[in-house]
C-alpha cells in the first residue's frame, strides 16, 4: 500500500504546529492536533477541543467517517454526504458550491464550508470528500468563530489516504459517445396512446407515479425537492422533478430552452454540443410528453422528458457521460420510464390570493411546547439534545406566518401585533412563509432553500396541531 496526501483547503490560513503523528482510522493516516482528544465511535472518529473564549466554553471538532464503496462521481459523493452529514444531521439548509481539487496520488477531492447556526450557535461547517480507488471517504469539521483555522488547515495538509498498489482508481474508462443513437429507439419505452388528464381541476394537482429503477440507488442531492437516482456500477443519473405550476406554454418553452432553468445546477448543461432531437410521446394521465435527446458542450449525453398536465409540468432528466454508460444503464432506467403515469392528489390552496375567508379567522399568535436542539458545549458543537422549549407560530390576516422559539415574535405578545414580516422574510426565510386554508385543511409553505411545507387539519380555530405539538391561541395578540 502507498498513501495519498489530500490537499483540499485553500480558504483557511496556514501555520505549522506540534502534533501527535501517526494516528490511523480506516484508510486514513492523520495527526491529532496538540491538546485535542480522540473518541472512536461506531464507524467514525471524533477529534475535538474545548476552549474558553470571553468567559464561555466553545470548541472545535473534526469528524472522520468510515470509507465506503464509491457509487458515483466525486461531486455526487460529496453532495450525498452533505445531505446526510450537514443538511440531515446539523439541519444546515445552505447548499454550497464546492471547490474541486485533485491529489497527486489518484484521489479527487471536493470541499465546501458555510457559516450557519448549529443548534442556535454560530459555527463554520466544513465538509471534505475524497474519492478514488473505488472508495469515498468524508471528513467534517465544525469550528466556532474561526477558532481553529490553523489546526484544521494543518490537519488536512497532513491527511493521507491509502492507495492501491497499482494506482488504479474509479470506474473503467470508456469510449467517446456515439452521437447517432436515435431517439425513436427509446420512445416506445414510455407508455403510448394514453388518455389525457383532468389536471385543470383547481382542487387537484397531478402527481408523477413510477416504480424505482432497478440497479439504481437513491442519491441525496435533491433532498425533498426532487429525486436523484444513480446507477449502481457506472456513472449514470436519472433525476425526477415533480410537477410544479408553470405559467406560460411549457411545451413551446421546452423546445426553445429545454426548460434548463428547472434543472438543478449540478446536472444542468453548460452549453449545447449537438442540436436537440425532439420527439412527441404520450403517457397515461398526461396532456403532452416531449422528449429531447442531445449532447452538451463536454459531450455528455442528456435525455430530457417534459411531462405536461394542465398548467403543471414535471421533468425527467437523464445524464450519461459516455455512450458506453448510456448503453449499460439506460435499459434499467427505461423500465422506470415505462411504468410512469400521471395521477392526481388534492392540490394545496393557492397562496397568492391570501389565506381565504377561513384563514383570515385563524390569524393570531399560537403557543406550544416543542423540542429545541441545544448544543452541549462540554462535548462540543456537534453534540447536544432536544430540550422542551416554548415555540410560537404567528399568523397574519394577510396570510403570512412566522415561527420562533423561546419568546413571541418581536419579543413579547404586544410586539407580535406589529411584527415586521418583510424583515423576517429577508433575515430568517426558513421560518417565514405564507398560509391558506381550504375547507378544514391548513397549508403552510416556508421560504428558504428547502421551502418546507406543512399541512394539518383544523378542528378548532383556537388550536393547531403541528408536527405532533399542540399550539393554543394567545389572547390579545391578534
3-state helix, strand, coil split of the chain in percent (to 5) is 15, 40, 40
Per-position b or e across 328-346, b if 16+ CB within 10 A of its CB: bbbebbbbbbeebbbebee
Q: Check whether residue 152 and residue 54 sit in a common domain.
A: yes
pLDDT for 165 equals: 42
pLDDT for 155 equals: 86
Return the CATH number at 7: 3.40.1000.10
Q: Which of 192-206, 373-387, 454-468 has the highest mean pLDDT?
A: 454-468
| Separation between Cα atoms, residue 120 and residue 387, nearest integer Å | 13
Q: Check whether residue 458 and residue 418 sit in a common domain.
A: yes
CA angle 124, 27, 72 (to 5 degrees): 70
Length of the chain: 478
Q: Check whether residue 291 and residue 379 sit in a common domain.
A: no
CA angle 203, 285, 328 (to 5 degrees): 130
56-65 and 68-69 as β-strands: parallel, antiparallel, unpaired?
unpaired
Q: Which of 146-155, 237-246, 435-444 has the highest mean pLDDT?
A: 237-246
Close Cβ partners of 175 (under 8 Å, ≥ 6 residues apart): 322, 323, 324
Lowest-confidence segment of 111-115, 273-277, 280-284, 301-305 by average pLDDT: 111-115
pLDDT for 4 equals: 60
Q: Check whether residue 205 and residue 324 sit in a common domain.
A: yes
| Separation between Cα atoms, residue 84 and residue 447, nearest integer Å | 21
Do 79 and 415 touch, CB atoms closer than 8 A?
no
pTM for the full model?
A: 0.49
**Residue 440's pLDDT band (boundaries 50, 70, 90)?**
confident
- Closest CA relative to residue 67, chosen from 89, 45, 92, 38: 45
| Separation between Cα atoms, residue 312 and residue 316, nearest integer Å | 14
| Separation between Cα atoms, residue 353 and residue 77, nearest integer Å | 42
Q: Check whether residue 457 and residue 333 sit in a common domain.
A: no
Q: For the residues 460-470, what does the mean pLDDT come to?
A: 88
Instruction: Give me the residues paired with residue 390 across strands.
Output: 369
**Mind listing the pLDDT tens digit for each residue in 289-306?**
999 999 999 899 999 999
pLDDT for 48 equals: 85
Q: For the residues 135-144, what does the mean pLDDT come to?
A: 88
Return the CATH number at 416: 2.40.128
- Tell whether the model's pLDDT for residue 142 goes beyond 90: no
**Mind listing the pLDDT tens digit for each residue in 315-349?**
999 999 999 999 999 999 999 999 999 998 877 77
**Residue 77's pLDDT band (boundaries 50, 70, 90)?**
confident
- Tell whether the model's pLDDT for residue 359 goes beyond 60: yes
Q: Check whether residue 129 and residue 206 sit in a common domain.
A: no
Q: For the residues 102-107, what does the mean pLDDT come to?
A: 65
CA angle 390, 395, 401 (to 5 degrees): 85
Terminal-to-terminal C-alpha distance of the chain = 69
- Tell whether the model's pLDDT for residue 168 goes beyond 90: no
Count of domains forming the chain: 3
Domain that holds residue 316: 184-346
**Residue 52's pLDDT band (boundaries 50, 70, 90)?**
low
Q: Can you read off the three cell numbers belonging to residue 438?
A: 381550504
Residue whose C-alpha cell reads 416504480 in the numeric block: 211
203, part of any domain: yes
Amino acid at each position: 500500500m502507498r498513501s495519498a496526501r489530500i490537499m483540499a483547503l485553500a480558504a483557511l490560513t496556514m501555520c505549522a504546529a506540534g502534533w501527535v503523528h501517526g494516528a490511523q482510522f480506516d484508510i486514513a493516516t492523520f495527526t491529532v492536533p496538540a491538546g485535542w482528544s480522540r473518541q472512536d465511535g461506531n464507524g467514525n472518529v471524533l477529534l475535538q477541543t474545548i476552549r474558553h473564549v470571553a468567559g464561555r466554553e466553545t470548541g472545535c471538532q473534526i469528524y472522520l467517517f468510515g470509507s465506503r464503496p464509491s457509487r458515483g462521481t466525486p461531486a455526487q459523493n460529496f453532495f450525498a454526504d452533505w445531505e446526510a452529514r450537514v443538511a440531515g444531521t446539523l439541519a444546515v439548509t445552505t447548499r454550497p458550491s464546492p471547490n474541486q481539487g485533485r491529489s497527486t496520488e489518484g484521489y479527487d477531492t471536493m470541499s465546501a464550508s458555510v457559516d450557519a447556526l448549529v443548534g442556535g450557535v454560530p459555527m463554520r461547517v466544513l465538509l471534505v470528500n475524497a474519492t478514488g480507488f473505488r472508495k469515498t471517504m468524508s471528513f467534517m469539521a465544525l469550528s466556532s468563530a474561526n477558532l481553529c483555522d490553523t489546526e484544521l488547515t494543518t490537519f488536512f495538509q497532513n491527511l493521507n489516504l491509502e492507495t492501491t498498489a497499482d494506482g488504479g482508481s474509479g470506474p473503467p474508462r470508456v469510449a467517446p459517445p456515439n452521437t447517432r443513437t436515435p431517439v425513436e429507439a427509446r420512445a416506445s419505452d414510455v407508455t403510448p396512446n394514453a388518455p389525457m388528464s383532468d389536471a385543470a381541476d383547481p382542487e387537484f394537482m397531478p402527481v408523477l407515479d413510477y416504480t424505482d429503477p432497478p440497479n439504481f440507488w437513491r442519491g441525496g442531492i435533491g433532498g425533498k425537492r426532487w429525486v436523484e437516482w444513480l446507477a449502481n456500477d457506472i456513472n449514470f443519473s436519472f433525476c425526477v422533478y415533480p410537477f410544479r405550476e408553470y405559467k406560460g406554454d411549457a411545451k413551446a418553452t421546452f423546445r426553445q430552452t429545454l426548460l434548463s432553468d428547472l434543472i438543478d445546477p449540478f446536472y444542468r448543461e453548460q452549453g449545447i454540443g449537438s442540436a436537440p432531437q425532439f420527439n412527441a410521446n404520450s403517457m397515461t394521465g398526461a396532456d403532452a410528453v416531449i422528449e429531447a435527446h442531445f449532447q452538451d458542450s463536454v459531450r455528455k449525453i442528456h435525455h430530457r422528458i417534459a411531462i405536461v398536465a394542465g398548467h403543471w409540468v414535471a421533468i425527467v432528466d437523464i445524464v450519461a457521460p459516455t455512450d458506453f454508460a448510456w448503453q449499460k444503464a439506460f435499459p434499467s432506467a427505461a423500465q422506470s420510464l415505462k411504468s410512469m403515469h400521471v395521477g392526481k392528489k388534492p392540490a394545496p390552496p393557492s397562496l397568492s390570493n391570501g389565506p381565504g375567508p377561513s384563514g383570515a379567522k385563524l390569524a393570531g399568535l399560537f403557543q406550544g411546547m416543542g423540542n429545541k436542539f441545544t448544543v452541549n458545549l462540554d462535548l462540543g458543537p456537534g453534540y447536544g439534545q432536544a430540550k422542551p422549549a416554548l415555540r410560537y407560530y404567528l399568523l397574519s390576516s394577510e396570510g403570512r406566518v412566522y415561527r420562533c422559539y423561546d419568546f413571541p415574535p418581536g419579543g413579547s405578545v404586544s410586539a407580535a401585533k406589529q411584527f415586521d414580516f418583510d424583515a423576517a422574510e429577508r433575515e430568517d426565510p426558513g421560518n417565514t412563509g405564507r398560509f391558506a386554508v381550504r375547507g378544514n385543511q391548513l397549508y403552510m409553505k416556508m421560504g428558504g432553500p428547502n421551502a418546507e411545507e406543512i399541512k394539518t387539519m383544523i378542528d378548532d380555530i383556537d388550536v393547531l396541531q403541528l408536527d405532533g405539538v399542540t399550539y393554543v391561541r394567545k389572547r390579545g395578540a391578534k
